[in-house]
Amino acid sequence: MSDRTRDVSITLDRATIDFQLFSDGGRSLKSHVMRRTVGGRINADKTGHAVSVKALNAVTLTLTPGAKIGLVGRNGAGKTTLLRALSGIYEPTDGKITINGSCASMTDMMMGMDADASGRENIRLRGVFLGLTFAETRAIEPDIEEFTELGEFLDLPLRTYSSGMMLRLAFAISTCIRPDILIMDEVIGVGDQAFFAKAQKRLQEMIHETKIFVVASHDNEIIRRFCNRVLVLDAGNIAFDGDVEDGLAFFDTRIRNAS
Amino acid sequence: MNDVVRGIVGWRVWYMLTAAEINKRYRRSVFGQFWYTLSMALTVLGIGFVYGGLFNQPYLDFVAYLTVTFPLWYLISNMMNDSAQSFINSEAQLKHYAFPCSTFVFQMILRNLFIFAHNIVLIVPVFLIARKWPGLPVLAFVPALVAYVLTGVWLGLLFGTIGTRFRDVPQIISSVTSLAFFVTPVMFRPISMPERLQFVIDHNPFAALLAIGRDPLLGHWPRASDWFVVGLITVLGFAVALPVFGRYRRFIRYWL
């Protein structure tokens, strides 16, 4: 176990994510071919050139066990892109990203739920998405049943659930695994007061047991509570990397209130 | 290549995705997924009646032929049509999970194999009534099935990648497939084709792909020339698909 702990890491080596947004004309193979045949001068403007977006600009970063990172930045600063890159969803277009260890990304807990399938079927579906085997998805069922207090509803299709019930189930499934690396986009509050306390406790356990934790949030309280290091992201660059209070202050004075 | 291997290792994901997709479509209907079988039966009986008359074919015999060719054609042409959409249709999963891209190619293939299985069961009652048994050559259907899966893999990797970048590719491909339908012996027998038009079948990769599955099910050993063509397009297909997919795979998620 200690061997594995030591191996868990995320390394970004001048990782750049630079992608093109196409206008409608740029998405057409026909106009692409046509443009070549007519020489490209007359049609160049009409068919639309791609706009290039640099969402991550040569970021170098090393995360090792014990790192609990709070990611702050304005909208469009590249937070979601960085989170997806850290989860292995986005591959860098230049540079390198190495991820060692099992990684779970909770950017949208409801993702992959099937409204027509029953609660139990959804446990199986989401469980497999999270990397469990069929036997393992059956093993987590009692735990989820107890935690969600859904009772007989677990055998009914999801579309009969209230939104609170649906969120409870999604939350319970997402938090029953113990990944080495946990990535979250905003910590989600769940349901009524009594359940909220229970959910907070479960989430804290999960964050505590994970070796590397990264959360993007606009809520300073959440970052103070869960993190020991802050990254401030600005236009695809890491503008600050260090202590929590210093990072939040840096963001407030230099970035949020600037411009 | 690594992406494809990881896709195979993560088979549970595409198995569950396919199962969920099919369940969703037929959960609340009486016949469930056997709607596929039922509508195939109607197609074959109807076309058999009209075109059997047109080509002067004995009805039962011709229906038996169609019961084999139509499911095979749907398998080939739907894989072709769906290939360009493999990644577009799974945008949400691709953007929220680190699944290898090939997962969604395998999902596309499994879905079409599932539909094929429900269509091809019709040969049992039809062959019983027509008193036709394929006999030993039916064994040659097994390698044909393998060839279909491999075809689906390279189609999905190649057109899936191109189709995500250029959004008019699915339309281009579907017009090619619908044209191919008319020049491939699906609705007619190869022998119904006049001599001067035989080249349409002889130089048609779709016809070869269809033949390697059709002949065994109808009780003939497949022709070596058909297998040669299929082998050739499979090798060529992978030779183009793997480099294209390897080079552009990392952009697929940004193109979505």
For chain A, what are the domain ranges? 2-102+217-256
Check pLDDT > 90 for residue A150.
no
B204 vs B209: CA distance, rounded Å: 9
Check pLDDT > 60 for residue B240.
yes
State residue B223's pLDDT score.
Answer: 93
The 3-state DSSP class for residue A94 equals strand
Residues of B in contact with A112 (CB under 8 A): 92-93, 96-97
Confidence of residue A45 (pLDDT cuts 50, 70, 90): very low
Looking at the structure of chain B, the number of domains it has is 1
Give a yes or no: residue B22 inside a domain: no
| Better pLDDT: B171 or A34 | B171
State residue A47's pLDDT score.
Answer: 47
A2-102+217-256, superfamily in CATH? P-loop containing nucleotide triphosphate hydrolases (3.40.50.300)
Confidence of residue A253 (pLDDT cuts 50, 70, 90): confident
Alpha carbon of A253: minimum distance to chain B alpha carbons (Å): 33
- Segments in chain B forming alpha helices (H): 2-9, 11-26, 35-54, 59-83, 91-96, 102-120, 123-130, 141-165, 169-183, 198-202, 205-217, 224-255
Mean pLDDT computed over A81-94: 91
Alpha carbon of B243: minimum distance to chain A alpha carbons (Å): 17
Q: Rounded to 10 degrees, what is the CA torsion of A21, A27, A29, A30?
A: -130
Check pLDDT > 70 for residue A10.
yes
Confidence of residue A210 (pLDDT cuts 50, 70, 90): very high
Give B177-236 pLDDT, tens digit per residue. Answer: 999 999 999 988 888 888 888 888 888 999 999 999 999 999 999 999 999 999 999 999
Check pLDDT > 80 for residue A48.
no
Mean pLDDT computed over A51-59: 84
Best mutation target among B166, B249, B252 (most A Cβ atoms within 10 Å) is B166
Residues of B in contact with A111 (CB under 8 A): 92-93, 96-97
Confidence of residue A86 (pLDDT cuts 50, 70, 90): very high
Give a yes or no: residue B24 inside a domain: no
Give a yes or no: residue B26 inside a domain: no
Give B82-111 pLDDT, tens digit per residue. Answer: 999 999 998 888 888 889 999 999 999 999
Give a yes or no: residue B210 inside a domain: yes
Computed over every residue of chain B, the mean pLDDT equals 90
Give a yes or no: residue B172 inside a domain: yes
The alpha-carbon radius of gyration of chain A (Å, integer) is: 22
CB atoms within 10 A of CB A2: 6
A220 vs A256: CA distance, rounded Å: 13
Confidence of residue A27 (pLDDT cuts 50, 70, 90): confident
Q: Which of B96, B169, B250 sits opposite A91 (nearest CB)?
A: B250
Q: Which of A17, A30, A89 sits opposite B98 (nearest CB)?
A: A89
State residue B72's pLDDT score.
Answer: 96
| Contact across the interface for A27 and B96, Cβ inside 8 Å | no
State residue A36's pLDDT score.
Answer: 63
Check pLDDT > 70 for residue A38.
no
State residue A212's pLDDT score.
Answer: 94
Helix pair B123-130, B59-83: axis angle to 10 deg: 160
| Better pLDDT: A46 or B118 | B118
State residue A46's pLDDT score.
Answer: 46
Retrieve residue B9's tokens: 């290792």
State residue B200's pLDDT score.
Answer: 82
Residues of A with CB under 8 A from a CB of B: 17, 19-20, 27-30, 32, 84, 87-93, 103, 105, 107-108, 111-112, 114, 116-117, 121, 124-125, 128-129, 133-134
Q: Minimal Cα distance from B256: which residue of A?
A: A21
What percentage of chain A carries pLDDT values higher than 70? 87
Residue carrying the six token digits 């040669």: B228
- Segments in A99-254 forming alpha helices (H): 119-129, 134-148, 163-174, 193-209, 220-226, 244-250
List A12's β-bridge partners, or say none: A61, A97
Residue carrying the six token digits 């739907």: B78
Retrieve residue B236's tokens: 């060529």
Mean pLDDT computed over A107-111: 76
Give B16-42 pLDDT, tens digit per residue. Answer: 888 888 887 777 676 777 888 888 999
B152 vs B105: CA distance, rounded Å: 8
Give a yes or no: residue B190 inside a domain: yes
Give a yes or no: residue B249 inside a domain: yes
Give B155-192 pLDDT, tens digit per residue. Answer: 999 999 999 999 889 999 999 999 999 999 998 888 88
Could you tell me the pTM of the whole model? 0.88
- For chain B, give the number of residues: 256
Best mutation target among A36, A100, A106, A116 (most B Cβ atoms within 10 Å) is A116
Q: Which of B24, B28, B92 sits opposite A111 (nearest CB)?
A: B92
Give a yes or no: residue B241 inside a domain: yes
Confidence of residue A8 (pLDDT cuts 50, 70, 90): very high
State residue B221's pLDDT score.
Answer: 94
Is there a contact between B8 and B1 (Cβ–Cβ < 8 Å)?
Answer: no
